[in-house]
Chains A and B, each alone.
Chain A
Amino acid sequence: MTQARDPQAASARTEILLSEDLRKFYGSRLALHSLSFSLEAGRVLGFLGPNGAGKTTAMRILTTILEPSSGRFVVDGINSDQPEKIRHKIGVLPEGLGFPKQLTAIGYLTYFGQLYGRPSGDARRRGLALLTDVGLQHRADSAIGTFSHGMRQRLGIARALVNDPAVVFLDEPTLGLDPRGQQELLALIRAIARDRGTGVVLCSHLLSEIEGICDDVVIMNEGQVVAKGTVAEVIGQTQPTQRNAIRLRVPPTSVDVARRALEALPDVELGTPADETSGWLAVQLVVPDGESAAEEYRLKNGILRALIDADVPVLAFEVGGGRLQDVFLQLTAETIL
């Protein structure tokens, strides 16, 4: 019988997924250059990168669909030279997964449970439990052809869990979902890591979702890892010029008052954003090199204080470099341009 993952035991373990210097050539083209990272049990790792960065190649290598040209990876103690054994340890939701439309949801999960070696009755019970987990228990006997896109994604996640995997790979799981569906699916992914002690590798273009639920991040560009670490560590890699750029929004009727209040401040330069008519203002802090972070915070608080003193309602206050998106754009700028 496939053993259940004990969340406590799993979280005590380290490096449930370890990638060491993975490289992949397509002919003479190097598609993946020295991919190294690790993932601990119960944590969610975000895999980011622009199109063509090598994410899909990396995912396909880590899920044993492709063989690396060199390097290795280890899943739950099993080395990459044993792909059959690794397939017992991983669950995958590929991007754009297709489904047999005639089959019912429970029939689909039972089928895959059996492919992993479970007897029919056990596979069905397991399937029903997973359908409950993903909120589809009331549609267990419905044909998959009648499911919405969001329901199919949930079913795909349930399928990825039929073998009680140590690591789950999710490739663009929220693609094509409405905002509510995205939020629900992300909460489900977080719960999978939290409650099952499963390591989750989440590949996505939506930086806000990565930032919201991931513990760790790997950013790739042109086949190389350009940043990795916890979300906070990666965000901390932004350039000072980005960190000192602030966008704030006030009511359009208060723009002039706000500008006068900000112009009066020392070490602050006002820019002209394209959308000033809707109340947005761009502010750049002038922080000399070598100044401490405390000085940055003092200046930022000074801006807020000046606006409050001028009786200007602050509708939004965005600190540059404070989001994963800023780091992503900075690190992948050449590709995007």
Chain B
Amino acid sequence: MSAPPVTSRVTEEAPGSARPVWWLVLKQELVELWVGGRVLNFLILFSILMSITAFLLATNNELSLVPLEQTVVVALTAAITFGLFIGLIIAAESVTGERERATLEPLLLTPTSHRQIIFGKFLAALSPWPATFALAIPYVATLSQGEPVLWPALFWGAVAGTILSIGFIGFGILVSIWSDTSRISLFVCLLAYAVSLVPSQLPTEFQDSPPGTVLAALDPVESAAQLLTKTVQDGSPLGQVWSYIVAPVVLTVLILVLLFWFAAPRLGLQAGRARSHERVPRTAEVSA
């Protein structure tokens, strides 16, 4: 059977310049996440959770059970926590999902920097965070009842949420690079997420004790919650609360260093086995 002749000449090159790889990967990922409907589903879930949270907080506020400032802080913390969950889920599947769908291999076969591929995926996984924060604004604005507490709340919420999102998404992609399946990466990420929420659930007595204070300073989510409480609720100046920014920032920087300098260049078809040069055993080992 004969086939039609195949083009043997490349068409003339058009004027224009090649785009950076991270930009191409980001565009591609955004299409899959947003046009594919995955992020939209998460945003609907986020809205439902925020509605329930806001309703409960508003009820408590009307009964004068909780002060207004604290209501705003709790709503903000909830928005950040739900937003982190979305980002973490997307990040956890960013590499393992491609492995499972067999779409990673063609990407690895292109002469592109693996670091740039991961950077594109990182930015794409970060993209739902501004949307979730924007969705949270009406809830926080309503709960603040026109009081000036709204503006510092939004500012510090954006700062803390962005730092935490960058760290959590970096962690999710890191786990995804080192996991063979999405099931494993999701399990590890959700476990880490749950652990990060534990300190805030501990008894108040423990939280106020020295070990509790240390634990709060080390846990990035609790640190961020404390930061919001001190700045928004107590009105403390930045000079008194900077210690609560340290844990999220340090952890985020460490994760990003680990992700882009160590893990990304080793991105491979199998978890942690990128073009690894296997050890050549001695002859005796082979024959044995």
Closest to A5 in B: B8
Closest CB in chain A relative to B163 CB, distance in Å: 31
Chain B residues bordering chain A, tally (CB within 8 A):
49
Question: Known: A111-B28, A119-B15. Contact between A65 and B280, CB under 8 A?
Answer: no
Q: Mark A114-146, 1 if CB is under 8 A from B, else 0.
A: 111111111001100110110100000000000
Q: Given the complex, which residues of B lie within 8 Å of A67, measured CB to CB? A: 275-278
Closest to B273 in A: A66
B147 interface residue per 8 A CB criterion: no
A282 interface residue per 8 A CB criterion: no
Q: Is the CB of B24 within 8 A of A111?
A: yes
Name B7's contact: one of A96, A130, A183 (CB within 8 Å).
A130
B184 interface residue per 8 A CB criterion: no
A323 interface residue per 8 A CB criterion: no
User: CA–CA, A142 to B203, complex, Å?
Assistant: 58
Q: Is the CB of B1 within 8 A of A183?
A: yes
Question: Known: A70-B280, A191-B5. Contact between A98 and B32, CB under 8 A?
Answer: no
Q: Given the complex, which residues of A lie within 8 Å of B111, measured CB to CB? A: 84-85, 87-88, 116-117
Q: Is the CB of A195 within 8 A of B16?
A: no
Q: Is the CB of B286 within 8 A of A188?
A: no
Q: Is the CB of B6 within 8 A of A133?
A: yes
User: CA–CA, A156 to B89, complex, Å?
Assistant: 30
Closest to A115 in B: B110
User: CA–CA, A195 to B109, complex, Å?
Assistant: 24
Within 8 A of B (CB), among A1-44: 1-7, 23-28, 30
Within 8 A of A (CB), among B7-31: 7-19, 21, 24, 28, 31
Q: Given the complex, which residues of A lie within 8 Å of B7, measured CB to CB? A: 129-130, 132-133, 195-196
A58 interface residue per 8 A CB criterion: no
Closest to B117 in A: A115
Q: Is the CB of B106 within 8 A of A92?
A: yes
User: CA–CA, A96 to B285, complex, Å?
Assistant: 35
User: CA–CA, A96 to B21, complex, Å?
Assistant: 25
17 interchain pairs (CB within 8 A)?
Answer: A7-B8, A25-B279, A66-B275, A69-B278, A87-B111, A97-B106, A100-B28, A100-B31, A114-B18, A114-B19, A114-B24, A115-B112, A116-B110, A119-B14, A133-B7, A191-B3, A195-B7
User: Which residues in B have some Cβ–Cβ distance to A below 8 Å?
Assistant: 1-19, 21, 24, 28, 31-32, 35-36, 101-103, 105-112, 268-269, 275-281, 285-286, 288
